[in-house]
């Protein structure tokens, strides 16, 4: 999934969008930072210190879309693919763009 995530971050640079990770510990790489550099992960991640438990996450990847007001708008268990994610984001980001333009007037 990481190439898709990298493309998403690049494509939406400058738009009202953020990809935020929650990095679970205890995998193959002991050093999360090393792994993120290796994978060229150009987005920020929380170190998971109980966050997965708080969000009842049972497997990875689990993805949430949260809108500009902080409301949860969508959830996927597993990677639905870039087209599905793009489709879900498109409407929300357009609304966010318009909202920004209105506020700047």
Partner 1 sequence: MRYTPMITLVVALGAACSYAAKGQQEKTELPFAAEFEKLKAAVDKLEESHAKRLGELKTEDQKAALFEVHIREATPLAEKALALVVGNAQDPAAVEVLTWIIDRGWGNWESTVVEKAADLLIQHHLKDRRTHNVVTGFAHLGMPWTEKMLRALVAAELPAKEHALTLFQLAQCLQGSAEFVPDSKIFDARRLKRVELLYGKDNVAKMRMADAAKLEAEAIRLFTDVADNYGNVEYNLKKLRDHAASAIYIIRNIGIGKTAPEITGEDIDGKPMKLSDYRGKVVVLDFWGHW
Which residues make up the interface to partner 1 (CB under 8 A)? 1, 5, 8, 16-24, 27-29, 32-33, 35-36, 44-49, 51-52, 54-75, 77-79, 83-85, 87-93, 96
State which residue, 40 or 75, has the beta carbon closest to partner 1. 75
- Cβ at position 2, least distance to partner 1 in Å: 8
State which residue, 40 or 47, has the beta carbon closest to partner 1. 47
- Cβ at position 63, least distance to partner 1 in Å: 5
State which residue, 56 or 101, has the beta carbon closest to partner 1. 56
Establish whether the linkage from the previous residue to 61 is cis, with ω within 30° of 0: yes
């Amino acid at each position: 999934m990481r190439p898709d995530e990298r493309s998403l971050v690049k494509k939406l640079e400058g738009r009202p969008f953020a990809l935020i990770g929650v990095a679970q510990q205890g995998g193959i790489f002991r050093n999360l930072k090393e792994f993120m550099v290796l994978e060229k992960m150009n987005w920020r991640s929380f170190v998971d210190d109980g966050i997965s438990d708080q969000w009842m996450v049972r497997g990875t990847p689990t993805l949430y879309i949260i809108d500009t007001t902080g409301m949860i708008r969508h959830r996927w268990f597993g990677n639905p693919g870039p087209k599905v994610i793009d489709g879900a984001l498109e409407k929300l980001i357009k609304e966010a763009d318009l909202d920004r333009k209105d506020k700047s007037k």
